């Protein structure tokens, strides 16, 4: 028993001594660190800016606005630090690939001919991606003193809709379908009532924060879509039109499509929308019951680039009788969603497509066309297999923006995918 007590006492003494030595070492180390001019900071800054601050206090980080400016005046070399596979899929236009994981294999070839004062901007993808930082530090060690890091560069570059290139952006846009579902309230969209539209939303981008003209009426709203001009700026104000009366004046979305070599089709289910057909429309047909079938036939029989605008009614009648978002209204949406499924699959099967789904207005109770905020609500859904649509995700969309969006998308096809900023509302 005495031996155990002695052993326990010795063990306690040893542990106490070890603890004392550790505390003393820490105190001495802390004191020396505080005295040294280049001591390690007691409290570290692990933010992105902090991690990329050099010993002299300067930052390696470059803002997207500065990177864009240097890109536009061709005063910078952009180096993508990601692996070749990701680089090939898509990258900043003109960037060179210097993968950090194999930097030794490619360094000499990439920097050949570059002076040591060249502005080099490195980037990768993701807020926590450190490949670009590692590459920047390496380049500075190799004698390049004008090196900056564009943090999360690939993502922010695309979000700013700046020029990109790569395999994912190489195909020409050949099939464009714009589908206007009359009186579609954004709140009606869900997997049970509209599974096909839901699938498009998951595949592409969308906003449920779109809004119509004042007043939010079918012809007024569609005229604003086609022309890009709302009633308050001189666009269509009258919601009635009959055959024989003058049609729309000026350039419309069909003129834009025609100028780009598309065969154009306009299929609608309300006579008043005939106001929107002009000389740029190759095929047009009014049909209350078979407008979807007409659009399918248009895409199926044409070997040219196809551009079609399809208007579908039904929800407007049900909403006015049974109420917007009523069980009957949701059932009608289910049938519309099922009816457009073959058309969507047809366009997708042809490839190189852009599908846009939107509406002209919504309603509240059994009323529409009033100043009630629900009456002006509408969705915008966009999906494509060849275009990066990230800039349109969650935008606050107005019907007058449809035409500028199409102009931007079609310009993108002729200018290496450069997309201009979202236009201001024009109503």
- The model's confidence at residue 241, banded by pLDDT at 50, 70 and 90, is very high
Q: Which helix (H) or strand (E) holds 89?
A: helix 84-89
Q: For residue 215, say if its preceding peptide bond is cis, omega within 30 degrees of 0.
A: yes
Count the neighbouring beta carbons within 10 Å of the beta carbon of residue 144. 19
DSSP states of 354-407: EEEEE-S---BTTB-SSS-GGGGEEEEEEEESSS--GGGTT---BGGGHHHHHH
Cα 130 to the center of its chain, rounded Å = 24
Q: Can you name the CATH fold of 171-414?
A: Alkaline Phosphatase, subunit A (3.40.720)
Strand residues in 54-97 grouped as ranges (E): 77-80, 91-92, 96-97
Q: Do domains 48-168 and 171-414 have the same CATH topology?
A: no
CATH 3.40.920.10 assigned to domain 48-168? The reply is no
The pLDDT of residue 306:
96
The CA distance from 336 to 193, in Å, is: 9
- The model's confidence at residue 171, banded by pLDDT at 50, 70 and 90, is low
**Is the full-model pTM beyond 0.85?**
no
The pLDDT of residue 6:
58
**Which tokens hold the place of 309?**
């605008």
Contact in structure between 207 and 397 (CB atoms under 8 Å): yes
pLDDT tens digit string along 291-335?
899 999 999 988 889 999 999 999 999 999 999 999 999 999 999
The pLDDT of residue 147:
96
- Is the pLDDT higher at 58 or at 183? 183
What value does the mean pLDDT take over residues 268-280?
Answer: 97
The pLDDT of residue 312:
97
- The model's confidence at residue 423, banded by pLDDT at 50, 70 and 90, is very low
Averaged confidence pLDDT in the chain: 88
What value does the mean pLDDT take over residues 154-169?
Answer: 82
Question: Could you tell me the residue ranges of all domains in the chain?
Answer: 48-168, 171-414
Selection from 392, 120, 177, 180 nearest residue 306 by Cα? 177
């Amino acid at each position: 028993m005495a031996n155990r007590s002695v052993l326990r006492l010795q063990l306690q003494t040893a542990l106490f001594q070890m603890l004392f030595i550790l505390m003393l070492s820490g105190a001495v180390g802390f004191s020396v660190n505080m005295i040294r001019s280049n001591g390690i900071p007691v409290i570290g800054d692990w933010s992105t800016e902090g991690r990329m601050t050099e010993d002299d206090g300067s930052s390696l980080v470059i803002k997207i606005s500065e990177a864009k400016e240097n890109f536009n005046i061709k005063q910078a070399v952009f180096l993508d630090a990601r692996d070749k596979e990701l680089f090939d899929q898509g990258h900043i236009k003109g960037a060179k690939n210097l993968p950090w994981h194999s930097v030794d294999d490619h360094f000499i070839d990439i920097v050949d001919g570059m002076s040591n004062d060249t502005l080099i901007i490195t980037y990768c993808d993701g807020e926590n991606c450190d490949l670009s930082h590692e590459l920047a530090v390496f380049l500075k060690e190799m004698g390049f003193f004008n090196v900056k890091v564009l943090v999360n560069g690939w993502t922010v570059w695309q979000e700013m809709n700046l020029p990109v290139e790569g395999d994912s952006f190489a195909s020409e846009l050949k099939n464009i379908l714009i589908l206007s579902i009359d009186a579609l309230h954004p709140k009606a969209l869900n997997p049970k009532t509209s599974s096909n539209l839901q699938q498009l939303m998951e595949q592409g981008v969308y906003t449920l924060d779109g809004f119509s003209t004042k007043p939010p009426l079918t012809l007024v709203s569609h005229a604003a879509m086609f022309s890009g001009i709302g009633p308050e700026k001189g666009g269509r104000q009258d919601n009635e039109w009959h055959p024989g009366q003058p049609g729309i004046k000026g350039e419309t979305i069909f003129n834009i499509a025609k100028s780009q070599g598309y065969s154009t089709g306009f299929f609608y289910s309300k006579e008043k929308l005939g106001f929107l057909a002009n000389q740029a429309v190759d095929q047009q047909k009014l049909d209350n019951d078979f407008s979807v079938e007409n659009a399918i036939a248009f895409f199926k029989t044409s070997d040219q680039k196809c551009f079609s605008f399809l208007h579908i009614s039904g929800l407007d009648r049900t909403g006015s009788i049974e109420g917007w978002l009523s069980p009957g209204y949701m059932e009608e949406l289910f049938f519309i969603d099922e009816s457009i499924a073959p058309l969507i699959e047809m366009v997708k099967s042809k490839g190189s497509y852009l599908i846009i789904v939107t509406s002209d207005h919504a309603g509240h109770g059994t009323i529409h066309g009033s100043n009630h905020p629900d009456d002006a609500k509408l969705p915008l859904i966009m999906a494509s297999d060849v275009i990066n649509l990230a800039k349109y995700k969650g935008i606050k969309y107005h019907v007058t923006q449809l035409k500028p969006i199409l102009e931007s998308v079609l310009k993108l096809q002729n200018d290496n995918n450069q997309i201009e900023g979202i236009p201001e509302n024009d109503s």
